[in-house]
Amino acid sequence: MQDALQLLQMQQRILLSGHLRADGDCLGAISVLYHALQALGKEVQVILPNAPDGRYGFLQEHTPWTIFSGSLPNYELLVVCDCNQLSRLGAMGELVAQKDVLRVVLDHHPIAKDHGWTALFHDVSAAASGLLALKMADLLGVKSLPLAAYEAAFVALMTDTGWLKYSNADAAAWQAAARLVSHGVNTERIYDLVYQQAEPERPLGIRVALENLEYLADGRIALCWVPQDRLQEVGGRLEDTDEVLDLLRGVARVEAVALLSERSGLVKLSLRSKHHLDVNLVAAQLGGGGHARAAGVTFEEGVSLTKAVELVRQGLLKGFREQGLDA
Ligand code: AMP
Ligand code: MN
Ligand code: MN
């Protein structure tokens, strides 16, 4: 981790980024770093591989970002937050891969040995990348951050722990939450901004998911999917899939939940589990990754929704067998 800190101290023009379809943790970590590095007098820019979920747009007021459109600004060091594979940056990752420029990762996902990054600021035990960003700010000697940075860290922590209800919400997570509140974070305001500003069409997206729901493995797997044409037909929206996943995790017998949706022609899978199934292993076999209780896959171009649903069905059943949960 020392190397990553030294690189940040030494370089002046720093570019921050994160994974495709940036979520609260990704944007939260980026925002904390943005303010911390500015406090150290660095020139900082944020570029995202594509548009993030609209619910996090409010963060842009204090952390301006641009969306990648084919070229990168001049920089000395790239810091990628909340993922550790360049493929998670889409077309932007391909461009980065061609450049011989320093790149650092700040992340909490499992990482391969031959990762190819210049340095890592990495801890899989961290509940959110946003907490690692706070730690990085501390270690860089940043004495104080603006309220917007604490709010962003709070968004990161709360969205990745499901408002502190998932199993990754450990003592450090609760302590961090307390620290952020003591710095003035208005929790009700943040809850409202993240979870209570949806468009009227949003619940109709959930309806489409529930229209296509099946239970497998004696009710321990809940699998559902959202065909794009049906979504358009009902006028629904499904930007963030966590509402559906949480709903189905609420079923007592359900251990694992899968939701497939179509986005820009690609099929995206979200996987969650409650206590036992390591969904990261299941996702990895399908070409994705994540954590033990939350993972995802973006299927390759040309894989239809029907085909992906079948791959996921088989993948989950195999996961149950391989992990000794089919008894
Ligand atoms: P999501 O279902 O998109 O909220 O993702 C759940 C978790 O899996 C997050 O920690 C993501 O970073 C991770 N994840 C999602 N999609 C992928 C992917 N294609 N490859 C690797 N990890 C992923
Ligand atoms: Mn993320
Ligand atoms: Mn995260």
Task: Report the CATH number of the 202-322 domain.
Answer: 3.10.310.30
Residue found by looking up tokens 């609209």 in the block: 54
Read off the pLDDT of residues 198-207 as tens digits, 9 standing for 90 and up: 889 989 999 9
Length of the chain as a residue count: 327
- Across the chain, mean pLDDT equals 96
Residue nearest to atom 16 of ligand 1 (CA): 296
Residue nearest to atom 2 of ligand 1 (CA): 270
Residue nearest to atom 12 of ligand 1 (CA): 290
pLDDT for residue 295: 96
Atom of ligand 1 nearest to the CA of 240: 4
Ligand 1 pocket test, pick from 111, 257, 270 with the greatest ligand atom count within 8 Å of Cβ, gives 270
Can you give the residue ranges of every domain in the chain?
Answer: 2-195, 202-322
Mean pLDDT over 119-145 rounds to: 98
* Residues near ligand 2 ion, CB 5 Å cutoff: 23, 25-26, 82
3-state DSSP of the chain: CHHHHHHHHHCCEEEEEECCCCCHHHHHHHHHHHHHHHHCCCEEEEEECCCCCHHHHHHHHCCCCEECCCCCCCCCEEEEECCCCHHHHHHHHHHHHHCCCEEEEEECCCCCCCCCCCEEEECCCCCCHHHHHHHHHHHCCCCCCCHHHHHHHHHHHHHHCCCCCCCCCCHHHHHHHHHHHHCCCCHHHHHHHHHCCCCCCHHHHHHHHHHCEEEECCCCEEEEEECHHHHHHHCCCCCCCHHHHHHHHCCCCCCEEEEEEEECCEEEEEEEECCCCCHHHHHHHCCCEECCCEEEEECCCCCCHHHHHHHHHHHHHHHHHHCCCCC
Fold identical between 2-195 and 202-322?
Answer: no
The Å distance, Cα 133 to ligand 2 centre, comes to: 14
Reported confidence tier of residue 2, pLDDT bands at 50, 70, 90: low
Architecture of domain 2-195: Alpha-Beta Complex (3.90)
Residue 42 contacts residue 114 (beta carbons within 8 Å)? no
What's the pTM?
Answer: 0.93
Taking the C-alpha atoms of residue 274 and residue 204, their distance in angstroms, rounded to an integer, is: 25
pLDDT for residue 326: 84
Mean pLDDT over 238-266 rounds to: 93
